[in-house]
């Protein structure tokens, strides 16, 4: 396996009236060719900002890349000019968003939007591009693609719009597809269809996928590897088996407990993690999860645990992993 994307120690901030919001605070992970990496965490954990940062969509100001690299096939995207990025965005790395209306142009037919992307990035004639666009609409499961081609986004249902956006994103055969909550707004059946579709395309085209979601059910079904983010940092990462069969971070345990079981009514019996993430205007000194963690020890309040290797592919940032954890735990017990 070889790495197509390698994010190294990425820091992104937003400057607001109240001060600097440190949205991403030293995130590292890599994506293998043809694999799916899921980034999970509650809203506000920095997963969307991370994905926008990869596409170099963090606008300055108020956004700022503070530090780090985003290596795509070994080249740092952070250092690229906007002109260079235009060659990468859409063609090499494409993105689909939660709300298709934000990325579809309401005044242009769906067909034309797909054709534009194809013409921009591939040397095809208009007629060839149209043919390819119709083929893409067919591929994403849009019925009667020829007549849909001339329709506007508002004439599509929510699920169809999502498919159209995927068609646009995939029409240039990107090497990397970033999907930010791609199915959250859709009903469960269509969600499943869209996820199947993405897997199918991946198998056929060898696309690498970064799937950003808070839905662990979707992750379990689609991802090869998982990155768990909390308060702008990676707290755990590993293969799908490691994260689901042997999660090691208390925050991941919390996420697992708030995951609906198969056949369980999604509105019932979930136990979300009590409390709220810290304010990233002033992140806490120690572990950012300490205020919500049942296992917090004295050291957790004082020193932020580093991401350390539990096994070859499995990394965890928690003091419970420390060989001295027993002693730390004692400290808590004796202090009481």
Q: Which residues sit at the interface with Mg ion, rule CB under 5 A?
A: 48
Q: Decide which of ligand SF4, Mg ion, none touches 295; Cβ closer than 5 to 8 Å per partner kind.
A: ligand SF4
Q: Closer to ligand SF4 at the Cβ: 190 or 296?
A: 296
Minimum Å gap between C-beta 63 and Mg ion is 15
Minimum Å gap between C-beta 143 and Mg ion is 31
Helix (H, G, I), strand (E, B) or coil at 82: helix
Q: Closer to ligand SF4 at the Cβ: 111 or 305?
A: 305
DSSP per residue over 3-23, as a string? EEEEEEEEEEEEEETTEEEEE
Q: Which among 250, 235, 237, 254 has a CA at the least distance from the CA of 306?
A: 235
- Count Cβ atoms within 10 A of the Cβ of residue 272 and give its class: 0-12 exposed, 13-18 middle, 19 or more buried: exposed
Minimum Å gap between C-beta 232 and Mg ion is 13
> Residue 294: enclosing H or E segment and its boundaries?
none
Q: Closer to Mg ion at the Cβ: 92 or 180?
A: 180
Q: Decide which of ligand SF4, Mg ion, none touches 48; Cβ closer than 5 to 8 Å per partner kind.
A: Mg ion
Minimum Å gap between C-beta 84 and ligand SF4 is 40
Minimum Å gap between C-beta 181 and Mg ion is 6
Q: Closer to ligand SF4 at the Cβ: 124 or 325?
A: 325
- The footprint of ligand SF4 (CB under 6 A) covers 250, 287, 289-290, 293, 295-297, 300, 305, 318-320
The answer to whether 29 touches 7, Cβ cutoff 8 Å, is yes
- What are the Cα distances from residue 140, in Å, to 156, 177, 194? 14, 15, 8
Q: Closer to ligand SF4 at the Cβ: 149 or 319?
A: 319
Rounded Cα–Cα distance for residues 283 and 298 (Å): 17
The answer to whether 163 touches 113, Cβ cutoff 8 Å, is no
Q: Which among 299, 280, 276 has a CA at the least distance from the CA of 289?
A: 276
Q: Closer to ligand SF4 at the Cβ: 156 or 251?
A: 251
Q: Decide which of ligand SF4, Mg ion, none touches 287; Cβ closer than 5 to 8 Å per partner kind.
A: ligand SF4
Q: Decide which of Mg ion, ligand SF4, none touches 300; Cβ closer than 5 to 8 Å per partner kind.
A: ligand SF4
Q: Decide which of Mg ion, ligand SF4, none touches 319; Cβ closer than 5 to 8 Å per partner kind.
A: ligand SF4
**Cα–Cα–Cα angle for 186, 53, 106, nearest 5°?**
45
User: 223: number of CA atoms within 13 Å, CB side?
Assistant: 30
Minimum Å gap between C-beta 173 and ligand SF4 is 41
């Amino acid at each position: 396996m070889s790495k197509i994307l390698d994010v190294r120690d990425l820091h992104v901030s937003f400057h607001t009236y109240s001060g600097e919001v440190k949205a991403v605070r030293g995130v590292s992970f890599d994506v293998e060719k043809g694999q799916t990496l899921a980034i999970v965490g509650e809203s506000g954990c920095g997963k969307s900002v991370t994905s926008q940062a990869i596409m170099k969509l963090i606008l300055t100001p108020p956004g700022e890349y503070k530090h780090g690299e985003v290596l795509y096939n070994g080249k740092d995207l952070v250092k690229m000019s906007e002109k260079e990025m235009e060659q990468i965005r859409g063609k090499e790395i494409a993105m689909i968003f939660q709300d298709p209306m934000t990325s579809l142009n309401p005044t242009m037919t769906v067909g034309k939007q797909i054709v534009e992307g194809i013409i921009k990035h591939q040397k095809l004639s208009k007629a060839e591009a149209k043919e390819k666009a119709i083929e893409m609409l067919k591929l994403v499961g849009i019925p009667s693609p020829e007549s849909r081609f001339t329709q506007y986004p508002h004439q599509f249902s929510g699920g169809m719009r999502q498919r159209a956006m995927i068609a646009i994103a995939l029409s240039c055969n990107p090497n990397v597809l970033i999907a930010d909550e791609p199915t959250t707004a859709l009903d469960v059946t269509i969600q499943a269809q869209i996820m199947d579709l993405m897997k199918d395309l991946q198998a056929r085209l060898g696309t690498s996928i970064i799937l950003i979601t808070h839905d662990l059910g979707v992750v379990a079904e689609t991802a090869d590897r998982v990155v768990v983010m909390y308060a702008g940092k990676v707290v755990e990462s590993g293969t799908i088996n490691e994260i689901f069969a042997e999660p090691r971070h208390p925050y991941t345990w919390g996420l697992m407990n708030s995951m609906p079981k198969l056949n369980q009514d999604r509105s019932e019996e979930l136990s979300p993690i009590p409390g709220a993430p810290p304010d990233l205007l002033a992140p806490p000194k120690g572990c950012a999860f300490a205020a919500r963690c049942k296992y917090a020890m004295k050291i957790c309040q004082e020193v932020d645990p580093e991401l350390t290797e539990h096994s070859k592919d499995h990394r965890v940032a928690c003091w419970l992993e420390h060989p001295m954890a027993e002693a730390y735990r004692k400290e808590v017990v004796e202090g009481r």
